[in-house]
Amino acid sequence: MAREYPIERTRDIGIIAHIDAGKTTVTERVLFYTGVSHKIGEVHEGTTVMDWMEQERERGITITAAATTAFWKPTYLGQEQIANSKGHEYRINIIDTPGHIDFTVEVQRSLRVLDGAVVVFDGVAGVEPQSETVWRQADKFKVPRICFINKLDRMGASFERSLNSIYERLTPNAVPVTIPIGHEQEHEGVIDLMRMRAVRFLGEHGEKIELAEIPAPLRKSAEEWRHKMVEKIAESDDTLTEKYLEGKEISMEELKSTLRKVTLEYKLVPVFCGSALKNKGVQLVLDGVIDYLPSPSDLPPVKGTDLKTGADEAREPKDDAPFAALAFKLQSDPYVGQLTYFRVYSGTLNAGSYVLNSATGEQERVGRILRMHANSREELKEINTGNIGAIVGLKNTHTGDTLCDPDKPIILEKIVFPEPVVGLKIEPKTKADQEKMGIALRRLSEEDPTFKIKGDPETGETIISGMGELHLEIIVDRMKREFSVVANVGRPQVAYKETIKKVAEAEGKYIRQSGGRGQYGHVWLRVEPRERGKGFEFINEIKGGIIPQEFIPAAEKGIKEAMEKGVMAGYPMVDMEVALYDGSYHEVDSSEAAFKIAGSIALQEAARRAGLVMLEPIMKIEVVLPEQFLGEVTGDLNSKRARIEEMSERGLGIKVIDAKVPLAETFGYVTTLRSLTQGRASFTMEFDHYEEVPNNIAQQIIEGKR
Ligand code: GDP
């Protein structure tokens, strides 16, 4: 079957923003206009646009799918507006990105599967903390992007001030390609600096686009903005620079194709503007997605590891290459059950075929493949490179797993999820809720790889853990709303860890030889600290059969169990290397059990000799507050063992504090900050790294005083 849209006419994008900047509104408009444009092509089939819009209003547009597909015809071809030309239609897959900071992980995993992003800003507030965090992550994942300065109709909105905040806080390489006609109530439309035309959005929903002369009072400033735009684009490319310096005319096509090229190289970032709520400017952003963001075929081949040979391997974004895809989100659906969203990096997948899950080594049958539209879902016989779909009924596939052709097994670079840093005891309010709670928690943890559940076998209690206090609050709230389970929760608890600071050696002996068959396990271990985050490594240095091969895994198991239990205060040990280098055995009495115990004894002793320390999670926090509260807030932060790293201005009388603070000190900060500042400050916080706990505090933790 031929593909419906050539790969060059496919875009996989995300819309990302600080909470409240207007992501939902922009997404709704995008789905609305793309729905309209798609239907326009089918008017002759009997559906009129108006009918469709009515239905749409009744049903509401679905924007909660992890990925939604839409179709867009660029508003213009050259200077001509396109009325109806199927041949110019593009497929845009919109991948949902969460708006919340406690879910940076969710942002990360969506950034991993999308190729380009539209970053939405509030035209009053400009760049806000989360926009900055997400921007840095997009840098890390090398995601080309365009910006949309939204809400220009709001009181106090300013395109220039917002743009300046982008220059100052995000990148000097932003380049406006549209500017607003008027602000606040006078915000009428935008000026397209490529065509030097005023663009107005008429009709009830702004769906009718009208091009006109630039209004006389704006002509001069439009000329200046255009001049700046042309200069910036020309400077970014050698051939164009030459032309520019020689004073030659540069055509719109040249400007656009160069801007596309350098946007894909992360050298420039086109900036659009308007008001999603007032239906102004969104269509030009869609044009921008087509013009300036990459298609899957613009990307380098995806990298992975050949499962058979362990060699590095790359897969071309081509339909006839072997199939490789990444599962990036699980979602439970009221109609069909579990959906596994995946992005195809290479090859084609047919419904009814089998895929290999490289993470589990198991093959699974691909029952149905679905594709989500704004107001419907479509069942696909096949899905090809660059596209996004959802498989129904996979049983053992998790977020981040690679799905591939069983004959050409590959494992794509994994999405790395951090370990949870906060835990909570949770129990159902009533006995009847017990089972329901179990089901709800399991479901939620399947969807979210940074949310974990653990049963304490000794007390029968359930502990849930996640990336922050808020993260767990939201989980508990979802449990109530979506699964009607009411639960009591305990106080949040820090996921401390233990590690060592020096190299040390110790012996472990487990020998019982009185009467009958004895026990004999004997090992010598060397422990050595590893860099933070490097985890555990076991090294077998036994030579010449001093300990028979069969007992070595048992010793390793004993070591691991002892590390898991902790030596100092019952927290798991991390970041160390353990070498088994000597020992002995007994022909008759040695057993796996004896070596396991010996390993455990030796590990505990070696750790005690190696300078045990406790580690705690350190959070990165940013507080935005009116200047008059600066003293109280910094004073309070200092009392919380925070390290203040930077203080800066944001607009008149607004200060920003960037600091690192131990997680243990942050519980309840929402309330503290509110009372310190009469509710006028806000903060964002995320996990940063693990660090040694000062001795006196570690002592208090051990004694149960903290
Ligand atoms: P999200 O949190 O980023 O998804 O933001 P929403 O789309 O939910 O928007 C947050 C609030 O801002 C809502 O009350 C919207 O109606 C409003 N909003 C969104 N876009 C605009 C806009 O262009 N102008 C104005 N005045 N308000 C807007």
Protein residue with its CA nearest to atom 17 in ligand 1: 22
CB-ligand 1 contact for 23 (6 Å cutoff): yes
CB-ligand 1 contact for 128 (6 Å cutoff): no
Ligand 1 centre from 683 Cα, in Å? 20
Label the pairing between strands 302-306 and 312-315: antiparallel
More confident residue, 445 or 333: 445
Distances (CA, A) of 418 to 275, 360, 413, 610: 37, 20, 15, 27
Cα 252 from Cα 229, distance rounded (Å) = 12
CB-ligand 1 contact for 580 (6 Å cutoff): no
The whole-number pLDDT of residue 362 equals 93
More confident residue, 207 or 98: 207
Ligand 1 pocket test: pick from 18, 25, 201 the residue with the most ligand atoms within 8 Å of its Cβ: 25
Helix (H) or strand (E) holding 77: strand 76-77
Q: What sign does the CA torsion over 228, 233, 237, 242 have?
A: negative
Segment 493-501 shows an average pLDDT of 95
Contact 70, 373 (CB under 8 A): yes
Residue 329: pLDDT above 80? Answer: yes
CB-ligand 1 contact for 119 (6 Å cutoff): no
Ligand 1 centre from 121 Cα, in Å? 10
Query: Which range has the worst mean pLDDT, 84-98, 469-483, 657-671, 687-701?
Result: 84-98
In this structure, which amino acid lies at residue 495? A
Cα 96 from Cα 524, distance rounded (Å) = 53
Ligand 1 atom with minimal separation from the 21 CA: 3
CB-ligand 1 contact for 184 (6 Å cutoff): no
Distances (CA, A) of 530 to 38, 97, 458, 500, 610: 57, 35, 32, 9, 12
- Cβ within 8 Å of residue 438, ≥6 positions away: none
* pLDDT tens track for 544-599: 899 999 999 999 999 999 999 999 999 999 999 999 999 999 999 999 999 999 99
Q: How far is CA 62 from the centre of its chain?
A: 21
Highest mean pLDDT among 304-313, 324-333, 423-432, 560-569: 560-569
- Helices and strands of the chain, counted as H and E runs: 16, 40
Ligand 1 centre from 24 Cα, in Å? 7
Cα 604 from Cα 601, distance rounded (Å) = 5
Q: Confidence band (pLDDT; 50, 70, 90) for 64?
A: low
Ligand 1 centre from 651 Cα, in Å? 21
Ligand 1 centre from 203 Cα, in Å? 21
Ligand 1 atom with minimal separation from the 27 CA: 7
Contact 277, 151 (CB under 8 A): yes
